[in-house]
Amino acid sequence: MKRITFFLALLMFVNITVKAQSKSEKQVAAAVEFLKKAMIDGSRESLEAIAGEKLSYGHSGGKVETKAEFVEAIANGSSDFVSIDLSDQTIQVLGKTAIVRHTLTATTNDRGVPGNVHLHILTVWQKVHGKWVMIARQAVKKPLKQ
C-alpha cells in the first residue's frame, strides 16, 4: 500500500512539474509570435516592448545591433520583413531564462530590394517583471548540403 501511495504522490508531482514547464514554454512561444508579428508590422512600439534593454541582436553576416539599432532598422524599413515562417522550433526554459531555436524562412524587401532568407536562429529570453523579453539573438546561414 505504501508503494502505491508513493507512486501516486510521485505521479502527481511529475504532472504538476510538467504543467508548470508547459505554461512557461507557452508564454515564451507567445513572446516569439509577438516578436514575429512586430517584425512584419514594423511596429516601433511593439519592438521596443519585446526587446530587452541590453539586447544583442546578431545577424548572419556578422553585424551585431543594440536594441535601438534593431528597432530603428525594422521601424524605418531598412530591414523589412514581408513574411516570416518559423519551423522546427524548440524552447528550453531554465528558471527565468529561455533558449529558443528555430528555422526562419522569410520574404524581405530591404531598402526596396526584394529577397528571401533562410536562417537558423537562436534567441535568448529573460522573464522581467512577469514578461518574457528577448535579450540576445544570433542568426546563421543554413549550411549548404554536403
Domain annotation covers residue 146: no
Q: What is the DSSP letter of 78?
A: S
Domain annotation covers residue 127: yes
Mean pLDDT (the chain) is: 89
As a whole number of angstroms, the distance between CA 76 and CA 85 comes to 22
Q: What's the CATH code of the domain at 31?
A: 3.10.450.50
Domain annotation covers residue 56: yes
* Residue 92: domain span: 2-141
Domain annotation covers residue 130: yes
Domain annotation covers residue 45: yes
Neighbours of 89 (CB within 10 A): 14
Q: What is the pLDDT, as a whole number, of residue 47?
A: 98
pLDDT in tens, 21-71: 579 999 999 999 999 999 999 999 999 999 999 999 999 999 999 999 999
Q: For the chain, what is the domain count?
A: 1
